[in-house]
A and B are shown apart, each in its own frame.
Chain A
Amino acid sequence: MSENRKKQNAIGSGFKEQELGQISDAQIAKRLWSYMRPYGFWFAVSLLLLPLVTAAQLLQPHILQIAIDEYLVPKKLEGLSLIVALFGGSVVAHAALQFIQFYIMQWAGQRALRDLRQAVFDHVQTLSVSFFNKNPIGRLMARMTTDVESLQEALSSGMVTMVGDLFTLGAIVVILLVKDWQFALVTFTVVPPLLVATAICRHFLRAALREIRVKIARLYAHLQESITGMPVIQLFVRENISLAEYKDINLDYRHANFQSIRYDAILFAVVEAVGSIAVGVIVWYGSGKVLEGVVTLGVLIAFIEYMQKFFVPIRDLAQKYNLFQSAMASSERIFQLLDNQERVQRASEPVDMSHAPFEIEFRNVCFHYVEDEPVLKNVSFHIKPGERLALVGHTGSGKSTIINLLMRLYDPISGQILVNGVDIKLLDIQQYRRIFAVVLQDVFLFQGTIGDNITLGDASVSDSELEEATKIARANVLINRYGKGFEHPVSERGSNLSAGERQLISFSRALVHKPEILVLDEATANVDTETEALIQEAVEALMARQTSVVIAHRLSTIQNADRILVLHRGEVLEDGSHDELLANGGHYTRLYRLQYAA
C-alpha cells in the first residue's frame, strides 16, 4: 500500500473544514461592535486608561535619568528620596492601572460575549427543521461553543491591549526623538532587522501552526474513532495496522511541532538578542556623545531602558494579530449562522386564532424534501372536530410528512392547510402549534425530573392537573414506583428509563398541555407485555378525549378510530371506517393483511 493511499484511507479521514471569506472584515467588526455597544461606556473607559498605563510605564526610565544626572553623578543625596518615591509610585501605578484597565475590559467584553452566545442560541431556536437536517448537530455545537470560545480567548489574552502596545511603541519613538533625535535614529537601526527577522519567523511559524492544527485534528479524529470502534478493530485483528496509521499521523504531528519549535526559538532568541544588541549600539555610539557632552549619562541609561521596553510589544503584536485573525474567522462563522434565515415563514401580521372547536383541512397539498422526489401528491382531506383519524400506509407512504406539515415543521410546496378556513401560514406559529400536543415514536426526554419532563417547565400546571394527567396516561403506576415520584431524576435523553416508561411520560406530557388536537405517532418498540397493556389503555384513553390524528401501528388503535386515511406513495387512496374499508376490498384490505395478518 502506498504511503498516500494508507493515509487517505486511515480511520477518521472523513474530517473536513468549512469555507470562509464571504463577510468582509469591516462588516464583521461592525457587527461585533453591535454586541459591544451596550457596554460601550466601559469599553471606552478601558481604552482611555491605556494611555495612562503607557505613561506610568514610560515615566520610569525618565525618572531613572533624572536620578542619575541630578543625584548620582553629582553625588547629591538631598531630594533623592523624592525621586525614589516617584519611581516606586510609577511602578505601583503601572501595575494597578494595568489591572484596572484589564478588568474593565473583561467586565464589558465577557458580557458582550454572553449576549452573543445567547443570540446564537436564540437564533437557532427559530430555524426550521429542514435547516437541522442539513447541518449536523456537531457543527452547530461548534458555532455555539468553540467559535465563541475563540473570541473569548482573543479577549482574555488581551487582544485589545494590542492598541496599548502600538501606543507604547509610538510613545517610545517620540520620547527618544525628543531627547536626542540623532542618537534615537542610530539606536533605531536595530529595529528594521528585527522586524524582518520577526516577519520571516512569523511567516514560517504560521504555516507550522496551521499544519499542527490540521494534524492534531486528524490525530484526535483517529483516536476518538479507534476508542469507539476498538471491539471491531480487535475482532478484525487490525490493532497493528491501526497503530501504524496512528503513528504516521503522530509523526507528522511531531514534525509540524518541531518546525514550530525551531521558528519559535529563533523568534524568542532574536527578540532577546536584539534587546541586548541595542544596548551595545547605544554604548558604542552613545559613549562618544556622552564624552562630547551632547547627551548625559542619564539619557544614555534612559535610552537603554526605553529600548528594553520596545521589543517585547513587537514580538507580542504578531502573536496577538494571529489570535485576532482566528477570532475574526470564528466571528464570520458565527455571523454566517446568525444570517441563516432558513425558517418557516412567519406571518407579518398574524390573523387572530379562531376558537375551538377546530376543523383542519388539507387542500391539494404537495410536498417534497428533495427536488423531483415528491412525498405528498395533491393530498386533500378534512379533520372534523372531535374526530379520531388514523393514518395508515406502508413505510414511505407519507404519513409522517403529513404530521410534519400539520405541525408546520415544514410548509407545503403547493396547496394549503387551513384551520377553520384560515391558512395556517397567516397565523402566529406558536399560537397555532399550541392547539396540538404531539407524541412522537422517538420520545425525547430532557435531563431533569420526571415532573419537569411532563410540564416542560410550564409553571401554570397545578399538582392536581399533573396527577390527573399521569393517571389517565397510566404513568402514575411507574411514577409512584420511584421513591421520589415526580422528582425522580431523568438522566440525559431519559436513558435511565425504559422505552415503555418514556412513552407513558410523553403521553402525560401531551395530556397536561390540554391540547385541542392530539397528534400521535405510535411507537413500535418492543416493550414487555405489562407495559404494552398499559400503553394500549393509555392510547385509548388519550384518543377518547379530543380530536386525534394517529399514525397507527396497533390494531386496537385502528379499530378505535372513527376514520382511516389510507396513504400510498404520497396519495390518499381510501378514506373511511375500518369496516367500510374492509368491505371495499381495496388497498386497505391488502395492507391490513400484510401488516396485521401473518
Chain B
Amino acid sequence: MSSRNRKIKHYFRKYWALFMGGAVFLVLTNIASLAIPKHLGSAVQKMRDAAADGELLNFDLSIIESHGKWIILLAIGAGLARIFSRVAIFYAGRFIEYDVRNELYEKLTRLSPGWFASMPTGDLTSRVTNDVNFVRTLFAITFLHVINTTIAYGLALEKMLALNVTLTIWSLLAFPVLLVFVRLIVQALFTQTKIVQAQLSTISSRVQENLAGKTVVKTYGIEKRESARFLELNEEYLKKNLKLATIRGGLSTNITLIPGAGALVVLLVGAEMVVQGTITLGEYVEFSGYVAALAFPTLAMGWVFSVWNRGNAALDRVLEVLEAPEEITERGDATELPDMDGPRGAIEFENVSFAYADGDDEAISNVSLSIPAGTTAAIVGRTGSGKSTLVRLLARFYDPTAGSITIDGQPLTTLKLRQTRSETGMVPQDPFLFSMTIGQNVRFGLDALEFDDTVDRPLPTKSLMGEGEVDVDTRREEALRIAGIYEDLQAFPRGLDTMVGERGITLSGGQKQRVTIARALLVDPRVLVLDDALSSVDTHTEKQILDHLDSIMEGRTTIIVTHRFNALSRVDKIFVLDEGRLVESGTHEELCQSGGVYSQLFEHQKLREELDNE
C-alpha cells in the first residue's frame, strides 16, 4: 500500500466514530427527505381523485392534511439529521487538518538546514498552507458527497423503479452526460485557477521589484516604462481572469441545467404516460420529486472527482515533507555532555571533510584542529574559505562526510543532539530576530530550559557580572550590558517590551548582532561561537564586548570567526582556512612571522591602510 493510502486509512480509522456517525445521519436525512415525494404524490392523487369523483364536499380532508403534517415533520427530521451529519463529517475534516498541521510543524523542527535549502521557500509555504486545506477537503468533502450521493441514488432509484421502469431510465439518461460535463468543467476550473494564481504571483513580484527599486525608478525617471511593464502583466492577467470567469459561468450554467433537464425529461416522457393512464398524476408528482432530489447529489459527484484528485496530489506533496529523511538524528544510546568541574568546552576536529549536497567541491577538506577547554580561538580566512561551514558542523546542522568532531572528548554523533546544542551558544552570521518583544528574543533560549522537560538542563541562575545567584530578569539585563546593547534599548520608549519590527523602531544591524550575542550568553554555553557576529559593530564597541566575554567565558571556550584582524592579538590560537583546508594555526605573532597565508592577509590589510595613508 502506498504511503498515501496508508495515511488516508490512518485518518479514517482515527476519526471513524465521526465518519460513521456522519454516515448514519446521512442515511437518516435521506430516508426522511426521500419520503416526502411519496406524501406529496399521494396528497395530489387524492385531491385529483376527489375532484374527479365529484364528491368534493363529503371528502375527508384530514387524510390529505395529514400528508401535509407528515411532510413538515419529515422536513424537520431531515433537517436535524442533516445538521448532525455535516457537523460530524466537517469536524472530522478539521480534526485531520489540525493533526496534519501539527505533524508538519513538528517535522519541520526536526529537519536540518540542508533540507530547507533544497526546498524553495515558496514551495514549502504552499505545502504547509494551501495543500493542507486540500487534504482536509479530500476527507471531508469527498466523504460527505460520495456517501450522500450513494445513499440518495440507492434510496431514490428503488422508489423510482417501483413507480415506472421506463420513466426511470429516461429521466436518468441525461444525468451521466451532464455529470461528465461538470467534471470536465471543474477540472478546467482548477487548472485555470492555478494559471491565474501564477500570474498574480508574477504581478506581485513585479510590484515588489518596482517598490524596492524606487530610487532608480525616480532618479532615472523611468516611471512610464515601469507603468508599461506593469500594464503588460495586467493585460495578461485580465485575459486569464476572463477565461476563468468563462469557465465559472459554464459551471453555473450547468448547475442551472441539471435540475431543469431532469424536470424536462420527466415532463417529456411522463406527461404522456399520465394522459395515457400508465401512471397516475400523483405518481408523476412523486417521481418528479425524486428526480429533483437527485440533481444536487449528481452535481456534487462531478465536483468530488476533482476534489479527490486535487486532494491526493496535495496529500502527496504534504507527505513528501512528512516523510523527508531526517539527516541529523540522535542515536538511541546517545549520552549527555559530561559534567565537568574544571575548564569545559574542548573542541576537536579530526580529519573532517564535508561537501554540500549541491556543491561539487568539498567545502571542508580533511581539517584537524583542537581547541583546548577554556581557551579562545579564532577562525579566519577569505570569503568562501569554509569558516561558516565549520561552525555549522559544530552546531550539527550537518554531519561531516568524513572524520569526527568531539566536544569534551565525546564524538558529536554520540551525544544527545538537543542537550548538546543547548550548551553551544551560537551567534549566527545573520542576526535573525523573531517578531516578538526584544526581551522575549533575548530569553529565547531560556524558554526550553524553563518549560521543556525534554531538555535536561537546569535554568542557569549564576550572575554573569557579579557573584552569586540572580533572577532571570536581572541575568538578562546583565547579558544585555555585556553585549553592549543595554543603553541602546533604554532609549526605546518601551525598552525590552518593544516589539521587533514595530513601526517607527528599527534596530540597526549592529544592534541586532548585539541582541543575538546577549541571547547566546543567557543560556550559559559551554562553547560560545561568534560567527562573524561583530561585523556591524564599530571597533571600539567590539573591543569592549570581547573584553567582557574574556571575563565571563572563563573556563569555557570561545570561538570567534572574523574578517577583522585587529581583535586577533588577544586570542589563544588562530586557525587559518583557505579553500576548505586548514593551512595554518598559531598565535597572532607566530602566524605573522611564519610568512604564510595569514601573514599575507594581514600584510594585505596593513598595506591597504598604508596605501590610503600616503
From A72, A88, A107, A457, contact of B242 by CB (8 A): A107
Residues of chain B contacted by A221 (CB below 8 angstroms): 435
Closest to A506 in B: B216
Q: A227-B125, A268-B82 are in contact. Are A283 and B64 (CB under 8 A)?
A: yes
Against A, the Cβ 8 Å flags (1 = close, 0 = not) of B80-122 are: 1011001100110011011001100110111111001000010
Closest to B111 in A: A230
Distance between A454 CB and nearest chain B CB, rounded to angstroms:
11
Against B, the Cβ 8 Å flags (1 = close, 0 = not) of A574-596 are: 00000000000000000000001
Against B, the Cβ 8 Å flags (1 = close, 0 = not) of A248-262 are: 001101100110011
Closest to B57 in A: A291
A231 x B67 contact (CB < 8 A): no
A276 x B90 contact (CB < 8 A): no
B33 x A276 contact (CB < 8 A): yes
CB of B14 within 8 A of chain A? Answer: no
CB of B218 within 8 A of chain A? Answer: yes
A238 x B445 contact (CB < 8 A): yes
CB of B225 within 8 A of chain A? Answer: yes
B245 x A103 contact (CB < 8 A): yes
From B44, B229, B612, contact of A300 by CB (8 A): B44
Number of interface residues of B (CB under 8 A): 151
CB of A243 within 8 A of chain B? Answer: yes
Residues of chain A contacted by B2 (CB below 8 angstroms): none
Q: A230-B116, A291-B47 are in contact. Are A106 and B129 (CB under 8 A)?
A: no
B275 x A87 contact (CB < 8 A): no
Residues of chain B contacted by A118 (CB below 8 angstroms): 227, 230-231, 234
Against A, the Cβ 8 Å flags (1 = close, 0 = not) of B209-234 are: 11111111111111101110111001
Q: CA separation between A345 and B75, bound complex, in Å?
A: 68
Q: CA separation between A498 and B135, bound complex, in Å?
A: 42
A72 x B51 contact (CB < 8 A): no
Q: CA separation between A207 and B134, bound complex, in Å?
A: 24
CB of A362 within 8 A of chain B? Answer: no
A237 x B455 contact (CB < 8 A): yes
Q: CA separation between A299 and B225, bound complex, in Å?
A: 66
A276 x B267 contact (CB < 8 A): no
CB of A178 within 8 A of chain B? Answer: no
From B86, B218, B231, B277, contact of A407 by CB (8 A): B218
CB of B43 within 8 A of chain A? Answer: yes
Residues of A251-283 whose CB lies within 8 A of B? 251, 253-254, 257-258, 261-262, 264-266, 268-270, 272-277, 279-283
Residues of chain A contacted by B46 (CB below 8 angstroms): 287
B61 x A71 contact (CB < 8 A): no
Q: A233-B109, A273-B76 are in contact. Are A285 and B98 (CB under 8 A)?
A: no
Distance between B173 CB and nearest chain A CB, rounded to angstroms:
15
B71 x A597 contact (CB < 8 A): no
Residues of chain B contacted by A88 (CB below 8 angstroms): 264, 268
B613 x A598 contact (CB < 8 A): yes
From B44, B75, B225, B250, contact of A301 by CB (8 A): B44
CB of A210 within 8 A of chain B? Answer: no
Closest to B566 in A: A598
CB of A117 within 8 A of chain B? Answer: yes
Residues of chain A contacted by B50 (CB below 8 angstroms): 291
Distance between A296 CB and nearest chain B CB, rounded to angstroms:
9
A284 x B424 contact (CB < 8 A): no
Q: A125-B223, A236-B523 are in contact. Are A265 and B500 (CB under 8 A)?
A: no
CB of A430 within 8 A of chain B? Answer: yes
Closest to B256 in A: A95
CB of A478 within 8 A of chain B? Answer: no
The stretch that binds A, out of B197-205, B462-470, B550-558, is: B197-205
CB of A152 within 8 A of chain B? Answer: yes
Q: CA separation between A519 and B218, bound complex, in Å?
A: 14
CB of B260 within 8 A of chain A? Answer: yes
Residues of chain B contacted by A158 (CB below 8 angstroms): 252
CB of B572 within 8 A of chain A? Answer: no
Residues of chain A contacted by B250 (CB below 8 angstroms): 99
The stretch that binds A, out of B336-344, B349-357, B426-434, is: B426-434
Closest to A296 in B: B51
A144 x B207 contact (CB < 8 A): yes
From B78, B86, B220, B277, contact of A437 by CB (8 A): B220
Residues of chain A contacted by B215 (CB below 8 angstroms): 129, 409, 438, 440, 444
Distance between A484 CB and nearest chain B CB, rounded to angstroms:
21
Residues of B238-273 whose CB lies within 8 A of A? 238, 241-242, 244-246, 248-250, 252-253, 256-257, 260-261, 263-264, 267-268, 271-272
Q: CA separation between A542 and B71, bound complex, in Å?
A: 91
B44 x A234 contact (CB < 8 A): no
The stretch that binds B, out of A11-19, A319-327, A334-342, A414-422, is: A11-19
A284 x B109 contact (CB < 8 A): no
From B56, B65, B231, B419, contact of A292 by CB (8 A): B56
CB of B3 within 8 A of chain A? Answer: no
Q: List 23 A-B contacts (CB under 8 A).
A: A13-B435, A14-B501, A64-B263, A75-B275, A99-B250, A99-B253, A118-B227, A141-B204, A149-B200, A156-B245, A226-B105, A229-B432, A233-B109, A251-B98, A261-B86, A268-B86, A279-B75, A287-B65, A297-B48, A300-B44, A304-B40, A555-B612, A596-B613
In the A-B complex, the 3 residue pairs with the closest CB atoms: A284-B68, A273-B79, A280-B71
Interface contacts beyond A232-B434, A277-B71, A283-B64: sample of 13 additional A-B pairs, CB < 8 Å, sorted by A = A11-B436, A75-B275, A80-B272, A98-B249, A99-B250, A106-B246, A158-B252, A227-B124, A241-B451, A277-B75, A291-B61, A444-B216, A598-B613
